[in-house]
Chain A
Amino acid sequence: MTQVLVLAEHDGKTVRKATLNTVAAAQKVGGDIHVLVAGHDCAAAAKAAAQIAGVAKVLHADAPHLKDELAENVAAVVVAIAKQFSHILAPATSHGKNVLPRAAALLDCQQISEIIAVESPDTFVRPIYAGNALATVKSADPIKVITVRTTAFDAVAASGGAAAVESVAAPADSGLSSFVGREVAKSERPELTSARAVVSGGRGMGSGDNFKILEPLADGLKAAMGASRAAVDAGFVPNDWQVGQTGKIVAPELYVAVGISGAIQHLAGMKDSRVIVAINKDEEAPIFQVADYGIVGDLFKIVPTLVEELKK
């Protein structure tokens, strides 16, 4: 029987959008969908999960040692309830990637990472080689353990559902690791992976200060801000802005690449955007091979005029 578990991504009070994309992937698999909300003092998040369209049941594991959702303890919860499921899905976020392979190994299952399509309940499509090839893979494991590329599945509605919430016991604290602290980058902007538009800067920006000229552009487009690895490495902007093979995968309606050459590792993270704009002074830059609209020229001249034009 097909019964799918989705590991929710939440902040204790609300459920993050990545969960909705993952439930969408679960619907493609078929069967009953259960959502696991593991954390501490996260009853509100469990309630929110129960509203998600298409969810049959919410499993709520609440314990002090689940507070910071450490991989060892969350994987233990997943493993404890795994046997009733044919599929276990998590979004391919830093959290899902951290926890799910640990659970998969304990279940002796070979995880299928970052699927972009469900062909059948045991067959999935996933990108390999930075998205330069797509592999169709068939799993022989009794439980299919899967992370989901969120940009490949349209989110289900956050409301409309009325699932029952059931408490599940959490296995004891592993005691293996403990949480020390967190530096959260605060921003008023939309979240990078779910924004409708993204404005990214690269090494061509020259400095962190110069990124300020992208802000009015992002304001005008109601966009999130991103960056190439080179810009992050140079310390211009925080690490969680990185778009690419080893950073975040985005697929907004509009992606604006400013001073980014378009290395394959960067393209891997944004080439599924609907409309791509590139601004680069080098007309040979590979970014122009994927851009719908390109402007060749000095970004320091073009960006301010673009901001003005958008206001008109």
Chain B
Amino acid sequence: MKVMVAVKRVVDFNVKVRVKGDGTGVETANVKMSMNPFDEIALEEAVRLKEAGVATEILAVSCGPVACQETLRTALAIGADRAILVQTDVELQPLAVAKLLKSVISKEQPKLVVMGKQAIDDDSNQTGQMLAALLGWSQATFASKVKIAGEGAEVTREVDGGLETLSVKLPAVVTTDLRLNEPRYVTLPNIMKAKKKPLETLTPDALGVDVTPRLAILKVVEPPKRKAGVKVADAKALVDKLRNEAKVI
């Protein structure tokens, strides 16, 4: 079974992002970029499926500027066999990404697509669901456990009230939650090996997809700042403040 994983290059989760002075976005020049953490989990899951003899080939796909090659090389070092970059400098929104991935899928015919539940830059939480819709496939979002069984998969999902388990037909799109697995570290020998693995480049035009943004970003601002409050000496002083100053109890 061929498994495809979608990986997005994002500002590293440890970076404290700064809004640009002109209000057009956040500062991304000279900022550390990494693979979206949820996508690392998606990739790890695919690699484990391969190690378990369920997956036969892992294809990593990223859409965005040429720098995404770096993210794809990381994917190859973690264990993907091949990579495809859909290269564009247009700011991609989830619907456009879903369309690009769909077009790649029509050529590649994977049985399972694993992706993150959410990109930590746009916090959209849409692309997987959209991709499943466009393909007419089943979807299992926010997965914390995936078990492949024959022509289906049993997926445990993290939902507001607890956990829910679904049985989905393959092919399917699964999106990962944080507790699905703990991604491995890339090792130097694997980074070396990754350099020799195939990385193909396509374009939205070649795939016949219009990626024009549907949402215009009018401005980006910093959220109102909370001011740090006071330290109090003990529980007694705290209760006094909560009762008489904040009047919250």
Contacts and interface: CB of A to CB of B under 8 A. Distances in A.
A264 B220 CA distance: 18
B226 to A, nearest CB: 5
B206 interface: no
Interface in A10-38: none
Interface in B204-229: 213-223, 226, 228-229
Contacts of A289: 226, 228
B105 interface: no
A208 interface: no
A306 B232 CA distance: 12
B247 to A, nearest CB: 9
Interface string B144-174: 1000000000100111111111111100100
Contacts of B213: 110
B219 A111 contact: no
A104 B130 contact: yes
A18 B152 CA distance: 33
A133 B17 CA distance: 8
Nearest to A174: B138
Given A139-B215, A271-B226, A101 B161 contact: no
A229 B223 CA distance: 23
Interface residue tally of chain A, by bracket?
35 or more
Nearest to B229: A292
A95 interface: yes
Contact of B178 (A94, A141, A246, A283): A246
Contacts, number: 261
Interface in A80-99: 93-95, 97-99
B229 A291 contact: yes
B52 interface: no
Nearest to A308: B235
Interface residue tally of chain B, by bracket?
35 or more
B231 A113 contact: no
Interface in A287-312: 288-297, 302, 305-306, 308-310, 312
Given A127-B123, A177-B169, A305-B235, A94 B142 contact: yes
Given A123-B218, A140-B214, A177 B140 contact: yes
B137 A176 contact: yes
A291 B249 CA distance: 16
A105 B130 contact: yes
B125 A293 contact: no
B20 to A, nearest CB: 9
A70 B123 contact: no
A302 B17 CA distance: 34
Interface stretch (B42-50, B113-121, B186-194): B113-121
Given A127-B123, A248-B160, A133 B231 contact: no
Given A132-B16, A182-B163, A240-B158, A302 B234 contact: yes
Given A135-B220, A138-B216, A176-B137, A274 B167 contact: no
B220 A128 contact: yes
A303 B229 CA distance: 20
B230 interface: yes
Contacts of B38: 246
A245 B228 contact: no
Contacts of A113: 122-126
Given A105-B98, A105-B130, A288-B228, 6 more contacts: A70-B166, A98-B141, A105-B95, A110-B215, A132-B223, A240-B159
8 contacts: A97-B125, A104-B130, A129-B17, A132-B222, A133-B222, A176-B137, A288-B231, A292-B229
